[in-house]
Every structure is written in C-alpha cells, then in structure tokens.
C-alpha cells in the first residue's frame, strides 16, 4: 500500500509509532498496536501502528520524528507500507503471562527489543506486570541482569580490585556513600560509584554530590576520574549502563510495583565491573524492610544473585528507623558530610555507618578493613581523597562547609510538650522536605536538632525547614500543620497505638 | 505553575494526555505517567502527563485535541497546572496485581475510569494482565459484566420474552445467526441481535448481514426495527453498549489474551435486555474448544454467570471441526443463507444447526420449540421475516441469491490424489480467505465443493477461491501453494500424524 507521509511534530519516547486511517489499516489487515513495515527507497523500518478516524486522512501515514529521521522522510513523500510480524519476543512475554519460566535467550530477546524500541508500551507493561504477578526467581533475575547489562555500555578498568556499594534506600539524610567512596579510594581500592537522583525521597546521592561537583559525566570522563583517584561519584542516568532499566521503571511508576528491583541494581553493578559489593539494607519501622527477617531474606537473595553473576556480595543490615545524622536535603546533607569527613563535627551515627560499610568492603578484598578505615580517616587522607574527586569531576576542591548555601526562607517547629522523642517518621519528613522544594531545589531541606530518645522541653526547637522560595515555604508550612514527623512522649509510655474497631474493618 | 498552551495536532485515543518539558515536570514534582490538573478560567481537567526534553519547551504545555476542546483552549493561552492524585481505581488495580479478589464497587470504579479516559494505557494493560495472570472468578466476572453494562447504553423493549444467541466462534462459514433470528422472530419471540465484525476470521455476522442490509444502526433505529419485526441484525460496534469492552480489547490484541471474554459477552447480552440466551460452543480439532470436556467446562461457566445476572442460559455444544455449509466469506455466506432459508438448496449441517439452536431458545420460553421451528420454516414465514428485517434496516427485501455479487477473480484448487477428505483445516481456510481479501472485501471468499468424508478423484475440483482484485488473488495463490486446507487420504488410514523426536523437543 502506498501512503503519503505526514510528519507529526511529536516524539513517542523512543518507540517508532506511525498513525494510519482506520480504513487503510483495515485494508492492510493490521489493527491498532499491530506492526507495519515502512519502505522508502532502500531504507526500511518496522513500527507500531496506531489508528485514527480523524487526524490522518485515507491515503496518508502519520510519522513521528524518530522514524522520519531514520528513513529521511519529508512530508508529502510516498512510502510503501506492508503488514509486518509482531517481534518474536512477544511470544516470550506471553509465555511469562502463562506463568512459564523464561531462560536467558528469551529474556535477552525481550531486553533487546525493549532497548531497540520494538515493543509497545502495552507489551512492556504486560511483561513487567507478569513478572510482578508470577514472581521472578533467582535464575531469571540473574539472567535478566546479565541481559540488561549486555545491552548497555560498560566500564572497563584495570584494577586489582573493583568494589561497589548500594543502599536500598528509604532513610532520609543518608549521606553514607559520600564518605564511603573517599575512604575506599584512599585505602587504594577502586570504587567507580554511580548513583541515582531522588525519586520519592528528599535527595539521592547524585543530588547530594552535585552540590560539591558536577555529576553528569559520560563514561569516558568517569573512567578518567577513576583512573586518577580510584573513585568517583557520578549520576548513573546519562551513562546508558542498562538502558532497559529506565524503560521498565517508567511503567512501574504509576503501578508502584518493582519486580525488577534486583536485576536493575545488579545489572548496573556488573556494568561498572564490580567484583565485591556491599548492599546496605536499612530495616525497621518506616524503612523499606519492616523487620529484620524481611531484611535477611532480601540479603540472601542479593548474595545468591551475586554468586550467579560473579559478584561477591555481603550485606549490611542497618538501623533505618530514623534519619541518618541531622541534615536532610541535598545542600544540607553535603554540608554535613563535609563537616564529618573534615572531623569538624561529631555525628556518631553517620560516622559509624560509613566506617562500618567501608570496613566490610575492604575486608572482602583481604585487607584488615577496620584498621585501614581508621588510618585513612584519622590521617586526613579520606578528606583529601574527597577533594581530589571533587577536583577531577570539575568542582572546587577547596570548598568549605560554610560555602554551601541553602534556602534563605525557613521556619522552626517546636515541641508542644515536654518529654522524649519517641519516634521520627521517615515518610513524613520526606514529604515535608519535598513540600519545601526537595529534591529539585538543592537548598530546600530540614535541619534536625533532636533525634530519637533525646529529651525535649515544651517549646524547644525540634527542627527547621528551609526553602528557596516563599511560595514553597508556604506549602511546607501547610504540610507541617497537618503532619507531625516527631512524636514526643514519656519514655515510660508503653501503649503507643490505639486501634479501634473502625480501623480494623 | 503557569504554562503556555501549545496545541498538538494528534489524538490520544480518548485519553486526555498533556506533554510537559522534563524540567517543569520535575519542578512540579510529577513524573511521566503521573497526573496533572489543568485549570483555565473556571474549567478544570485532570490529564495523564507525558514528559519530553525536546518537543515542548520550558514554560509550555502540549495539549492534545480532546482536552483543548474540553477546556476551550487556544495555542498561546496560559493555564494553571498543578500536581494531581492518581485516580482511586489504581489502588484496586494494584490490589488485583497482588492477587486479591475485587468486589463490585472496585470493579465499577475501574470501569468508570476506563470509560472516562482517566486511566493510562499502562494502567489498563496492568489490569487486563493481572486478570489474565491471577484469573477472574465467576463472582468477579459477573460483577464486571454488570459494571461494563451499566457504563453503556441499554436497549429497553417491552416484550413478554427477550431472547438472544451467541457463538464463541471459530467455525468458518457459520451463518447460523442469519437463520436463527428470522425463525425466532417469526415464532413471535423478540430477539434484538447485535453482532460483531470479523477479527481473525473470514467474516463476522455483521459482515454477512451487511451484504443484505445496512447494519450500522444506532440504538433508536435498532429499537424501531425490533418493535416492527421482533428481531434485527445490527453491528454492536456503534451502539456503545459496553464501551469499556472495546478499550480492553485494544490492549488484549497484541498479547492475544482475553481474560474478559465472558464479561464482554454477558455485558452486551444484559445491555439488550436478554432474559434467555443460548451460547453455541463449537468443539473439536481446529475449533476454539478442543475437547468436549473443555466445552462442557465453558458451558457451566456461562450458565453460572447467567444465573448471577438474571439471564437464563443454555448452551449448545456443536461440531466445530470443519466449516458450516459450503460458502465462506461475507457475500458467499449471505448467498448460502438466503438459498437455504428460501429452501432452494439443501445444506443439511446449516439447516440442522439453525433449527436446533432456534428450537432450544423457543423451548426455554415454554413453547414446543421443535414444532414451532418446523412451522415457521416450512410455511415460509421465516423467509418472510428475514425480508421484513432487511426492509426495516434499509435493504432490498426482494433480494435474490443471484443478485449477490462476489469476487470476479478466482482460481480452483484440485485434488492431488484420489481418496476421501479426511480433514478440513479451519485455520488454514480462514487464512486463505483473508489472503484473498476477507473480511474487508465482502466479495472475497471460498466456495467448497467437498466436505469431510466426501470421496474425491484425482484432479477433481475441491474448492474455488474468489477475490475482488487481481493483486489479492495473487497473494491468495501464493498462500494456497504453501497451505493445504483439505487433507485427502484413504478412509482406512489410521496413522495420520508422525511425530519425530525433534518436534517433541
């Protein structure tokens, strides 16, 4: 069938989509979401078909920018359109939909087609949903990780040991990575760290690190920094390490499911060549893992998956019931990390977690981990290493804590009664910081003055909320009025919840 | 956030979608596939957000036609955009994704949001996939049918008995409905029949009927025909009886799953007010149900679902191993139906099936079914009723079999050896008819001269393939060369399949 090209000034997000009139589609025998092949001269492309009865006339084909560029099409040109087969990978998605287990070849074909843009959003969603519904076993997870890693870029570095760390997240103010990377690198071990930005939290490691240095490096720049310093702190988003992951995450978001959590993490670790990995699993009330048993189960899965991927994995189960340190929000957290590594300020939980995880990692490579950590911490070489990394990534290596600016607008929250801080609600703190402008506004955040167990007097200041604009400050104030992130009570009070019949029903 | 409207000349298929620059979306705290609220003057609408980094500039919002019309927007106008909540029905979809059973209220909320365009394709796909993965039990199916029926139009007719028939399909040449409707209506019982067009077959009942009369009636026109004649044969596609169904079918297609088969059928029967229903379930090799046990299981489900929806259901298990009658393709089938009802031609299987199903239906209303059928068949009132319906729907009531035109181009297929027709492959015949132009070209099709069991001599004509154009004839010839829809063998041959080790692996 010959059709006249109409260029549609819209981008379908990687997937090649063409739009045809209902009538022509029927004539061709292809339905909406089926596939058509478009030929222009010697060039050919297969696209997902959408049909319409009004936007595109009979005899026309609407072509989005991606395909127009690929086939060098101009509006008004004639192309030859024929019915095409669905990609073979859809058979594998159907197999998973019937509860079957997929092997490496099948998973690789799916991932290849996802990355090449050969699958429609419906098909990708069906795959992710089927993985969620039927579960993904450890074999499938490992094979999928391998497939996701192989379809992306990878970092090749010649080092005796390449190590990495990962946190499953969920703890506000967790600036551990900003301290672990310089400690490990200062101890002479390579740690090519990539991090994510905040999704539902106040700040991700990439957001924090960006306060001190550029983090949008490409793979070559990242490699150069690692070669010079043994470490780096870059944003994983532009590196194209496991591009299928970003596409899967997009459909997981509205459904709040993440069957691909483990493959997503492990594929990226494999891509940077990690041989030793510590996974930080915070647990407890308000953390992602509610109980220590749940945390142990996840740890076992990480370790088993690592063994299938030639990555030696240890896990650190950590207290996740309250924020780490006193500062929440990108700029405030970067400041606290800098103060701590300069040993200007003592923040015991931040220091303990960073040193603990660094020691595990170094021990895995055969060193006396705790001793090595103490050495580079106390002799200032961890701080020096952080400044080297800042310099190599293009930041100011002389940066001081007081140089870091945060929101000009703020308000204090005070204790309404005397007592002890019984609980700090991680989720409420994150919501409050986000209302104040985090993670987009790096200067937004929360400065805590009290942690769980601390005594407070009535009217005493509990925390300050910072914002970059008066408008967002107002939003944060409104949120603050209805949410109490700190529960003050008597340390002898045992009954803390009262569940009524209505709540149970 | 204030943004400047850019109208996107594309239609998102019912769903309100807006496109924003990544940067603005981040500022608003909403990710792609999240929801935003757009306010223009007093008018407000919630839309699914898509994000981009190139098509839409910072400060702009791309708005598709549907929303532009709803809010009366023009390019360049400023609208106020805020983050909005996901629809509540997504929680129910998530519940199903976790394997939970849904109740009427939850299913109704999902269907309402599907029809209102409040759910994105990702969310609809997740729902359909979850129903497929976890199954849909009889309660859920009945509640979903009710919800789907309630969100659409319905036919209200005052009759002592309203009956309906449905075939699960799969048998080429099945023109039963074209005969059952006039028999029932002639016997004085109301049968407001809606039918579908072909999806994977050579012709649907709507396609066949359209050869004799217009079938794109609206609900008022349909009602008028039924009032005058007791029956009708209209296409269900424009009636908006259960609009959610069309939307679900769209995402089922690329995945070839249909967890909504039963709710889809039953909701439409309920919408036309059916109190008695016969479901025709063809079974056997090449049919949708392979074994009689499978067919019985489906029958039980239909009957149980009917009882929950106040529809009395009987099922007819019918031989589905070969085509019904000798003609396949819309025009050829309409011709055969007309010849049969005029008693000009004896086609035993066509007559037996039509009379049998009509008799079951009439018996369900308390009549002596077989007797009533014989009467209206033999005294010509069934034929007269068909002509009345043709007239009321706007066709020519004097139409004769020879008036019906079919493809001018054709080729014969001959027996390569002497023997008996051992088997006719339904799927291969359908593919061949489709290659010749069915279902779009009403004149395309296949005229059989032999059925299963018939003796053939070497070189004897087995069937003729008709096409409306030389191009499609050529395609059909190519298909014919590689596919043998009729297997000729010795009637005493018992070994018909030879399965090798390779096939088993």
pLDDT averaged per 10 residues, chain B (length 505): 86 75 87 92 91 87 85 92 93 95 96 92 95 93 94 92 95 97 98 91 95 96 97 92 89 88 93 96 90 91 93 95 96 98 95 96 96 97 98 98 96 95 93 93 97 94 97 94 89 69 60
A246 is catalytic: no
Would you say B429 and B327 are in contact if contact means Cβ atoms under 8 Å apart? no
pLDDT, one tens digit for every residue, chain A (505 residues): 899 999 887 655 557 889 999 889 988 888 889 999 999 989 999 999 988 887 789 999 998 877 888 889 999 999 999 999 999 999 999 999 999 999 999 999 999 999 988 999 999 999 999 999 999 999 999 999 999 999 999 999 999 899 999 999 999 999 999 999 999 999 999 999 999 988 778 999 999 999 999 999 999 999 999 999 999 999 998 888 889 998 898 889 888 888 998 999 999 999 999 999 999 999 988 899 999 999 999 999 999 999 999 999 999 999 999 999 999 999 999 999 999 999 999 899 999 999 999 999 999 999 999 999 999 999 999 999 999 999 999 999 999 999 999 999 999 999 999 999 989 999 999 999 999 999 989 999 999 999 998 999 999 999 999 999 999 999 999 999 988 899 998 866 677 667 777 665 4
Give which of B125, B134, B206, B438 to mutate to test A binding, by max A Cβ within 10 Å.
B125
Distance CA A130, CA A146 (A): 20
With the CA atoms of B220, B223, B227 and B232 taken in that order, what torsion angle do they form, in degrees rounded to the nearest 10?
130
Q: From CA A58, how far away is CA A343, in angstroms rounded?
A: 73
pLDDT at position B271: 95
pLDDT at B26: 85
The SS3 call for residue B31 is coil
Q: Are A282 and A168 in contact (CB under 8 A)?
A: yes
Q: Are A41 and A52 in contact (CB under 8 A)?
A: no
Q: Per the CB < 8 Å rule, is B55 touching A10?
A: yes
Say yes or no for a CB contact (<8 Å) between B125 and A130. no
pLDDT at A257: 84
In terms of DSSP bridges, do strands B78-84 and B17-21 run parallel, antiparallel, or are they unpaired? unpaired
For A124-149, the DSSP string reads HHHHHHHHHHH---HHHHHHHHHHHH
Nearest to B254 among A52, A123, A251 (CB): A123
pLDDT of residue B67: 83
For the residues of A328-362, what is the DSSP string, one character each? ESHHHHHHHHHHHHTTSS--HHHHHHHHHHHHHHH
Rounded to an integer, what distance in angstroms lies between the CA atom of residue A427 and that of residue A410?
20
- Choose among A203, A167, A205, A131: nearest CA to A446: A203
**Omega before residue B439 within 30° of 0, cis:** yes
Q: Does B476 touch chain A (CB under 8 A)?
A: no
How high does pLDDT run on average in chain B?
92
CA-to-CA distance for A56 and B10, rounded, in angstroms?
9
> Rounded to an integer, what distance in angstroms lies between the CA atom of residue A324 and that of residue A349?
6
C-alpha neighbours within 13 Å on the C-beta side of residue B283: 17
Using DSSP bridges, classify how beta strands A312-319 and A276-283 pair: parallel, antiparallel or unpaired: parallel
CA distance B130 to A222: 42
User: Helix, strand, coil proportions of chain B in percent (round to 5)?
Assistant: 45, 20, 35
Beta-strand relationship, B17-21 and B60-64: antiparallel
Q: Can you give the pTM of this predicted structure?
A: 0.86
- Comparing CB atoms, the residue among B62, B132, B250 nearest residue A33 is B250
Tell me: cis bond preceding A439? Omega within 30 of 0 counts. yes
Please list, in sequence order, all residues whose beta carbon lies within 8 angstroms of the beta carbon of residue A158, skipping any fewer than 6 positions away: none
For residue B76, how many other CB atoms are within 10 A of its CB? 10
- B chain contacts of residue A32, beta-carbon cutoff 8 Å: 13, 250, 253
- Paired residues of A3 in beta bridges: A79
**Amino acid A306: pLDDT:** 94
Nearest CA in chain B to A134: B133
User: For residue B262, what pLDDT is reported?
Assistant: 92
ipTM over 0.95: no
| Dihedral (CA of B245, B249, B252, B257) sign | positive
**Interface contact A94-B255, CB threshold 8 A:** yes
A434 and B29 in contact by Cβ < 8 A? Answer: yes
Give the alpha-carbon dihedral of A249, A250, A254, A258, to 10 degrees.
Answer: -10
- Measured in angstroms, the CA of A313 and the nearest CA of chain B are apart by 30
What pLDDT does residue A144 have? Answer: 95
């Amino acid at each position: 069938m010959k059709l006249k090209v109409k260029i549609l000034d819209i981008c379908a997000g990687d997937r090649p989509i063409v739009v045809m009139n209902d009538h022509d589609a029927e004539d061709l025998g292809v339905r909406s979401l089926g596939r058509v092949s478009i030929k222009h001269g010697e060039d050919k492309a297969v696209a997902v078909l959408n049909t319409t009865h009004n936007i595109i006339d009979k005899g026309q084909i609407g072509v989005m920018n991606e395909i127009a560029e690929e086939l060098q099409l101009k509006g008004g040109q004639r192309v030859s359109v024929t019915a095409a087969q669905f990609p073979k990978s859809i058979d594998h998605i159907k197999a998973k939909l019937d509860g079957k287990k997929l092997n490496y070849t099948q998973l690789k074909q799916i991932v290849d087609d996802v990355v090449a843009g050969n699958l429609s959003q419906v098909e990708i969603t069906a795959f992710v949903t089927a993985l969620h519904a039927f579960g993904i076993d450890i074999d499938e997870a490992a094979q999928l990780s391998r497939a996701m890693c192989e379809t992306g870029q990878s970092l090749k570095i010649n080092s005796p040991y390449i190590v990495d760390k990962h946190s499953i997240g969920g703890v506000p103010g967790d600036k551990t990575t900003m301290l672990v990377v310089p400690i490990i690198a200062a101890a002479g071990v390579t740690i090519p760290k990539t991090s994510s930005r905040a999704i539902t939290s106040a700040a991700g490691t990439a957001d924090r690190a960006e306060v001190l240095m550029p983090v949008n490096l490409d793979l070559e720049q990242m490699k150069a920094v690692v070669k010079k310093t043994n470490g780096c702190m870059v944003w994983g988003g532009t590196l194209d390490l496991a591009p299928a992951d970003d596409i899967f995450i997009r459909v997981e978001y509205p459904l709040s499911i993440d069957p691909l959590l483990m493959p997503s993490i492990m594929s990226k670790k494999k891509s940077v060549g990690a041989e030793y990995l510590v996974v930080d699993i915070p647990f407890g009330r308000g953390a992602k893992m509610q109980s220590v048993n749940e945390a142990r189960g996840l740890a076992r899965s990480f370790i088993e998956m690592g063994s299938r991927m030639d990555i030696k994995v240890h896990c650190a189960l950590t207290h996740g019931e309250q924020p780490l340190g006193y500062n929440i929000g990108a700029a405030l957290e970067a400041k606290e990390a800098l103060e701590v590594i300069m040993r200007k300020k003592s923040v015991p939980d931040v220091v303990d977690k960073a040193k603990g995880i660094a020691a595990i990692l170094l021990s895995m490579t055969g060193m006396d981990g705790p001793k090595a950590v103490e050495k580079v911490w106390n002799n200032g070489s961890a701080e020096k290493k952080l400044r080297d990394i800042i310099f190599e990534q293009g930041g100011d290596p002389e940066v001081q804590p007081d140089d870091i600016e945060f929101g000009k607008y703020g308000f204090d929250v005070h204790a309404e009664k005397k007592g002890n801080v019984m609980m700090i609600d991680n989720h409420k703190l994150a919501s409050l910081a986000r209302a104040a402008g985090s993670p987009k506004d790096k200067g937004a955040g929360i400065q805590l003055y009290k942690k769980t167990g601390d005594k407070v007097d009535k009217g005493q200041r509990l925390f300050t909320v910072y914002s970059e604009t008066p408008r967002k400050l107002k939003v944060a104030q409104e949120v603050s009025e209805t949410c109490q992130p700190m529960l003050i009570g008597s340390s002898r009070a045992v009954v803390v919840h009262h569940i009524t019949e209505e709540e149970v029903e």
